[in-house]
Amino acid sequence: MVEKKLIQERAAIKKRKPTYKRVQSNQFARFRVVKWRKPKGMGNKDRRNRKGHVGMLKIGYGSPAAVRGLDKNGFKEVLVHNVADLLKVDVKTDIAVISATVGGRKRIDILTEAKSKKINVSKVKDFDVAIKALTKVKKETTKKETKVKKEVSKKVEEAEEKVEEKVEAKEKVSESKKEEKKVPKESTLDKLEKEEKKTPAKKAVSKEAKKWI
């Protein structure tokens, strides 16, 4: 174990360390995402360490060499993906860090193996509590998933029924329009001919006949 004084010293240095940003990151949005770049301009204020500007990187902000890469308790972090990776971990100087991509079942196996070998695991104070929490989450999620699936299936069925009703209504409207188009519209001449047929034809009376009337 490394001395606690060096770890405390590193914490104090980190508090004083400024956050280095790229030059003109306050003017251009594309520079905010990019990492720090060394300013090389002839009159650059940051490069010349002017007052009111963030200066250049300095070796004085670095942590002590004996404590670099160690956690708060002075252990070296070792990334673990499966049970076989626990063989790389030294009980006295190292601490295991379970990868974020590891699932629940494999995580339980790693914790049980670490408990038996007395290996320290980061963010795990009590192994039994951590294992129980993982098993409980599994059971609760299965119950919740069934309820959610039922609700989703009902909503999907209702939505499908509504869509079918709309489609049927549209089809009926389209059919009625097609039928209207098939029936030919009567022209004005056809209408006149029909009217003439309905009304009896008036007999033409000559002028001579009118005299005798």
Give the burial class of 176: count Cβ atoms within 10 A of its Cβ; 0-12 exposed, 13-18 middle, 19 or more buried: exposed
Report whether pLDDT(11) > 70.
Answer: yes
Mean pLDDT of the chain: 83
Average pLDDT over residues 29-46: 90
Helix 127-182 / helix 104-117 crossing angle, nearest 10 deg: 180
Confidence of residue 130 (pLDDT cuts 50, 70, 90): very high
Does residue 1 carry a pLDDT above 60?
no
DSSP 199: S
The length of the chain is 213
Q: Is the pLDDT of residue 2 over 60?
A: no
Residue ranges of the domains in the chain? Answer: 141-179
Cα dihedral 40, 42, 45, 48, rounded to 10, equals: 80
Out of 38-52, 102-116, 169-183, pick the least confident: 169-183
If you write DSSP's letter for every residue of 144-173 in order, what string do you get? HHHHHHHHHHHHHHHHHHHHHHHHHHHHHH
